[in-house]
Amino acid sequence: MSDLPKDKSQKREKGKAPSEGSHGVRGKKTPGRTKDSISTTSCIDELGHHEDNTRITMENTYQLGPLKRFPVSAVTDILKDVLTSYLQEEKYEVEWSQKMTKTICEVIRARVKDLMIPRYKTVVLVHIGQRTSQSMQISSRCLWDATNDTFTSYSLRTALCLVWQLSTLFTLSESRRQ
Amino acid sequence: MTGMEEYQNGSEGAFNSEETDGIVKECIENVVAGDDYSQGQVNKWTASIVERCLTQLVKQGKPYKYIVTCAVMQKTGAGLHTANSCYWDTAMDGSCTVRWENRTMYCVVSVFAVAIA
């Protein structure tokens, strides 16, 4: 008979420890969560030294190149479209040509930008020349990443338009740790 | 950690167009100085100029991708206009255009440098 009250007192003591920790939770009136709250409070009490490392640090992730390659045919179509619309039936004139080269350049760049291909930089080069039976040669070389970077060109009579698309590399997805 | 700092400071910021200007002029003069325009040779000249420029630029060892264009045109009084427009990072990337001429031809070389990382 004497054992019963001892058991009861022991039970009460056991019952006290978790109940002290879970007072706050009970105050929130979430009876369904009492089991979970009891387990978390007990963890914090036992492993108090983890307070310094509560923020989880992730390793840096890198994206080495663009996810989607540049659509070369779409750009060629843009070049064809712009050159034919601006230079249709036009004769060479000094001031008009000066303005035209800049305008065509900017229009092409804006349209290529509108394609919204991420992780690419673009360089557009336009030459307009006068046809007077002279000879001309244009060459170019590039040092780039052959898997991702592309080049297209289109010429119409004496207007030559070259467009390079270069992929960007190495954007850290997280800021560097110091 | 000091090793890391040195690497980060070694990029030197933007593209140095004056230095590139000098390199390109030297390359052009080494190839076509003193020659007259020749239809048969012009292909070789343009290829040679761009390759030399590219090699010299790469020797600098900077973290850039390069595009080098060379236009050689015979002097007959005809007009030529060239323009470029670029969509890039204006802080790190840059370009340099060099115009050179002699008695019989014009040579226009453009270098575009796009930074990696």
Three-state secondary structure string covering chain A: CCHHHHHHHHHHHHHHHHHHHCHHHHHCCCHHHHHHHHHHHHHHHHCHHHHHHCCCCCCCCEECCCCCCCCHHHHHHHHHHHHHHHHCCCCCCHHHHHHHHHHHHHHHHHHHHHCCCCCEEEEEEEEEECCCCCCEEEEEEEECCCCCCEEEEEEECCEEEEEEEEECCCEECCCCCC
Say if CB B109 and CB B66 are below 8 A apart: no
Output the pLDDT for position B27.
92
Choosing among B11, B64, B65, which should be mutated to test the A contact, i.e. which has the most A CBs within 10 A? B65
**Full-model pTM:** 0.65
Closest chain A C-alpha to B116 CA, distance in angstroms: 6
Measured CA to CA, the distance from residue B67 to residue A124 in angstroms comes to: 11
The answer to whether A121 contacts B77, with C-beta atoms less than 8 Å apart, is no
Mean pLDDT of B47-67: 91
The answer to whether residue A163 scores a pLDDT higher than 70 is no
CATH topology of domain A72-132+144-173: Ribosomal protein S3 C-terminal domain (3.30.1140)
Q: Work out the percent of chain A whose per-residue pLDDT is above 70.
A: 56
Choosing among A70, A82, A140, which should be mutated to test the B contact, i.e. which has the most B CBs within 10 A? A140
The ipTM is 0.72
Gyration radius of chain A's alpha carbons: 35
Which domains, from first to last, does chain B contain?
17-115 (3.30.1140.40)
The answer to whether A140 contacts B67, with C-beta atoms less than 8 Å apart, is yes
Say if CB B110 and CB A141 are below 8 A apart: no
Choosing among B81, B89, B109, which should be mutated to test the A contact, i.e. which has the most A CBs within 10 A? B81
Q: How far is CA A149 from the centre of its chain?
A: 18
Measured CA to CA, the distance from residue B25 to residue B16 in angstroms comes to: 15
Total residue length of chain B: 117
Contacting residues of B for A108, CB less than 8 Å apart? 85
Which amino acid would we find at residue B93?
Answer: D
Total residue length of chain A: 178
Output the pLDDT for position A161.
64
- Give SS3 for B90: coil
Mean pLDDT of B84-93: 88
Output the pLDDT for position A78.
86
Alpha helices in B2-105 (DSSP H): 2-9, 17-32, 39-59
The answer to whether A169 contacts B117, with C-beta atoms less than 8 Å apart, is yes
The answer to whether B82 contacts A101, with C-beta atoms less than 8 Å apart, is yes
Q: Quick one: pLDDT band at residue A52, thresholds 50, 70, 90? A: low
Measured CA to CA, the distance from residue A140 to residue A152 in angstroms comes to: 12
- Give SS3 for B105: strand
The answer to whether residue A166 scores a pLDDT higher than 70 is no
Mean pLDDT of A129-145: 80
Q: Quick one: pLDDT band at residue A12, thresholds 50, 70, 90? A: very low
Q: What is the count of residue pairs from A and B with beta carbons less than 8 Å apart?
A: 142
Residues 6 or more apart whose Cβ sits within 8 Å of residue B109: B24, B27, B28, B49, B50, B53, B68, B69, B70, B71, B97, B98, B100
